[in-house]
Amino acid sequence: MNRVQEKVAVVTGGANGIGNAICELLGQEGAWVLVTDIEDEAGRETVRRIVKKGGRAEYFHAEVSRREDAARAMEKAAEHNGRIDILCNNAAYLGESHAVLESTDEEWDKCIKVALMGTHYFTKEALPYMIRQKKGSIVNVVSIQALAGMMTSVAYTATKAALLGYTLSAAYDYGPHNVRVNSLCPGPIHTRISAEPGTAHYKWQCDNTVLGRVGSPEEVAWAALFLASDEASYVTGVTLPVDGGWTSK
């Protein structure tokens, strides 16, 4: 408990799945959490659960692809005590899967705007606070699709691979300010949009991990908590797969 006590954390895409689990765990561990999303009721429910367990959180409607929403979210978070200690860029877009020939401009545009530019906008707005306080942790939720080939998801995969490069560049530039930037790469995780147990795709996912199973959002959240906390004070620029060993094979 209290591994991020009194820290101010901002999480994008915090209403459901991995983002929800990260928000709840940060709240349990003592952070004040700004839950941002476009799904208002689910986001407010995340806040209710955090508060019910004794944590502190607020919800803020933010479309990550809008630069002005990122600025307003950071201003809202900084109202708490003037700091931004943790930023978790989790929001992404995953539409229908398409290979190169079938992918559309609209699909590419949304993947880039949400996952890549959304990460950029929120990072750009968080950095001045972190530089001023000479400390901060940015955790980018990427995907093992940035590390391993995957079928029919060229726009999503390319965007996620770009995020790895973004993370490395930001870690290099802002390390001298004691701002750490790291990537998490989840493998198959059971969320509302994942394959259901018993389906062929679910079995394929299990078969491709070393542990032989699909992970939970909470297992990704524990890794995010480590990178966000002072326990990872000498860790920056890393790519951490949370994938049951998928990328080890």
Express each pLDDT in 67-123 by its tens digit: 999 999 999 999 999 999 999 999 999 888 789 999 999 999 999 999 999 999 999
Q: Which of 90, 92, 89 is nearest to 110 (CA)?
A: 92
d(CA 246, CA 231): 26
Cα separation values, 121 from 85, 124, 245, Å: 16, 5, 32
Angle at CA 114, nearest 5°, toward 242 and 24?
A: 50
CB 193 within 8 A of CB 15: no
CB 14 within 8 A of CB 35: yes
Q: What is the pLDDT of residues 201-229, one digit of tens each?
A: 999 999 999 999 999 999 999 999 999 99
186 or 192: whose pLDDT is higher?
Answer: 186
Q: Which domains does the chain have, with CATH numbers?
A: 8-240 (3.40.50.720)
Instruction: List, in order, residues 6 or more apart from 216 with CB less than 8 Å away.
Output: 21, 189, 190
3-state SS, residue 185: strand
Q: Is the pTM of this model over 0.95?
A: yes
Q: What is the pLDDT of residues 136-164, one digit of tens each?
A: 999 999 999 999 988 888 999 999 999 99
Residues annotated as part of the active site: 156
Instruction: List, in order, residues 6 or more apart from 135 with CB less than 8 Å away.
Output: 85, 178, 179
- Phi/psi region, residue 148 (left: phi>0; alpha: psi -120 to 50; beta: rest), is beta
d(CA 184, CA 170): 15
Burial of residue 45 (number of CB atoms within 10 Å: 0-12, 13-18, 19+)? middle
